[in-house]
Amino acid sequence: MLRTHDAGSLNAKGVGTKVVLAGWVARRRDHGGVAFIDLRDSTGAVQVVINDEKIAGELRAEWCVLITGTVKLRPAGNENKDIATGEIEVVCESLEVLSEAAALPFPVDSGDIGNISEEVRLKYRYLDLRREGPAKNLRLRSKVTTAIRDVMASSDFLEIETPYLTRSTPEGARDFLVPVRLQPGSWYALPQSPQLFKQLLMVAGMERYYQIARCFRDEDFRADRQPEFTQLDIEISFADQADVISIAEKVLYSVFEKVIGYEIPLPIPHMTYKDAMKDYGSDKPDLRFDNKIVDVTEFFKETSFRVFQAEYVGAVVMPKGADTPRRELDAWQDWAKARGAKGLAYILVGADGTLSGPVAKNLSEKESAGIAAKVGAKNGDAIFFAAGSIASSQSLLGAVRLEIGMR
């Protein structure tokens, strides 16, 4: 190796040690004949003191350099407690430029990317990945896959790679197609998942298979959808639901414990899809706050209000929402319409318990007297309603619940 130490590994225990470091010039500061540079490599950064003004003056951001020097404590009062190497510095004895860098399209050693377009970042991806955030993400991903493999190996699973070039199979999205050179008019399809292959492996007697699989789906871009993605793919023979859940719990526990040091309490609470949709309006509910959806279909079964004469009527409470300005309540309607709904019915529960809003005047005396208690609303709260088909109404109320939680 060209270097003897990693920049981020140096500390006060190594004072007096002669080191050879290799990395990139992150920052340079000139102080009247003495220059300081932050030398960065994949492990972190360390401050280097250069007494030769001529050498220091030639250096530019992101030049790749090889430095030989001695580790010393920083002068009292100059320590930087924000970084691991903040107690020490390296006094440069020799410096070799391994590679110069042209003018940068954007600052690499800055956390601010607000003024940098994504197109520019992707064009210069090799520079973007030098930045702390993207580089940290790649290292985190590597730790996650390592933790997954450790669990699967300890549970006697076989990691088996399945083909990328295969025939089209019925899945939930469109295929990406690859032309066959030797058979014009014929096409390979990139796999949307290894489903058929892993089932064949079970027939073949492999019994416990897993793969950190690359999958391809020709879908429109959404926040939770991308054309290509990676998933942990598992198949088990002679297993029931409890076996699958047990493996999933082991994987989740290990990933969180090994990667970020957090121990998930086991067993992880379980809920059915039906309960998730009924209580939270989502198959991936946010349980950091309660505020469940309340089914009031039976409550309004004899209502004269035509909007609530529907297959399903549900409600969710917005704590302290009764003081919401009219313009925000109107904005809620636009918000709901943008999600395909006709609107969002609501009742405001005043400080004295009186009901107001467009729905309140359409309720019977009995309905008005009991609705707040039915949904668990207190004085000063707002109640939002959705009525119609079960699936669409629960989905809308689930989105309302999340929006309330964020606000």
Judgement on whether residues 324 and 377 belong to the same structural domain of the protein = yes
Tell me if 127 is assigned to some domain: no
CB-based burial label for 370 (10 Å; 0-12, 13-18, 19+): middle
Q: What are 105's two structure tokens?
A: 């399209």
Three-state DSSP class for residue 213: strand
Cis peptide leading into 267, omega within 30 of 0? yes
Tell me if 367 is assigned to some domain: yes
173: domain CATH number is 3.30.930.10
Find, among 194, 189, 191, the residue nearest to 161 by Cα: 194
Tell me if 123 is assigned to some domain: no
Judgement on whether residues 288 and 338 belong to the same structural domain of the protein = yes
Judgement on whether residues 142 and 256 belong to the same structural domain of the protein = yes
Judgement on whether residues 394 and 280 belong to the same structural domain of the protein = yes
Judgement on whether residues 144 and 239 belong to the same structural domain of the protein = yes
Tell me if 379 is assigned to some domain: yes
Q: What's the rounded Cα separation, in Å, for the pair 24 and 359?
A: 64
CB-based burial label for 218 (10 Å; 0-12, 13-18, 19+): middle
Judgement on whether residues 255 and 142 belong to the same structural domain of the protein = yes
Q: What per-residue confidence (pLDDT) applies to 194?
A: 94
Count up the domains in the chain and report the number.
3
pLDDT digits (tens, 9 = 90+) for 9-52: 999 999 999 999 999 999 998 887 899 999 999 999 999 999 98
Q: What are 376's two structure tokens?
A: 């668990």
Judgement on whether residues 242 and 154 belong to the same structural domain of the protein = yes
Phi/psi for 294 (5° steps) reads: -110, 125
Q: What's the rounded Cα separation, in Å, for the pair 33 and 185?
A: 70
Last residue of a domain, one of 214, 234, 260: 260
Tell me if 157 is assigned to some domain: yes
Find, among 237, 240, 258, the residue nearest to 156 by Cα: 237
Judgement on whether residues 301 and 324 belong to the same structural domain of the protein = yes
Tell me if 53 is assigned to some domain: yes
64: domain CATH number is 2.40.50.140
CA Rg value for the chain: 30
> In sequence order, which ranges of 129-240 are alpha helices (DSSP H)?
132-154, 195-203
> How many CB atoms lie under 10 A from the CB of residue 51?
12
Judgement on whether residues 278 and 366 belong to the same structural domain of the protein = yes
Q: What are 255's two structure tokens?
A: 């990933």
Last residue of a domain, one of 76, 99, 122: 99
Judgement on whether residues 156 and 231 belong to the same structural domain of the protein = yes
Judgement on whether residues 55 and 153 belong to the same structural domain of the protein = no
Three-state DSSP class for residue 375: helix
399: domain CATH number is 3.30.1360.30
pLDDT along the chain (407 residues), means of 10: 94 95 93 90 95 87 96 93 94 96 89 80 94 93 97 98 90 89 93 94 97 92 83 97 95 97 93 95 93 96 92 95 91 92 92 91 92 95 95 95 91
**Overall pTM surpassing 0.85 (yes/no):** no
Judgement on whether residues 177 and 290 belong to the same structural domain of the protein = no
Q: What per-residue confidence (pLDDT) applies to 225?
A: 78
Three-state DSSP class for residue 130: coil
Q: What's the rounded Cα separation, in Å, for the pair 198 and 236?
A: 9
Phi/psi for 161 (5° steps) reads: -85, 135
pLDDT digits (tens, 9 = 90+) for 131-164: 988 999 999 999 999 999 999 999 999 999 999 9
Find, among 289, 292, 298, the residue nearest to 376 by Cα: 292
Helix 241-260 × helix 132-154 angle, to 10°: 140
Which range marks the domain in which residue 207 is found?
136-260
* Partner residues linked to 25 by β-bridges: 39
Tell me if 187 is assigned to some domain: yes
Last residue of a domain, one of 260, 287, 310: 260
**Do residues 195 and 166 lie in contact, with contact meaning Cβ atoms separated by under 8 Å?**
no
Tell me if 267 is assigned to some domain: no
Q: What per-residue confidence (pLDDT) applies to 278?
A: 96
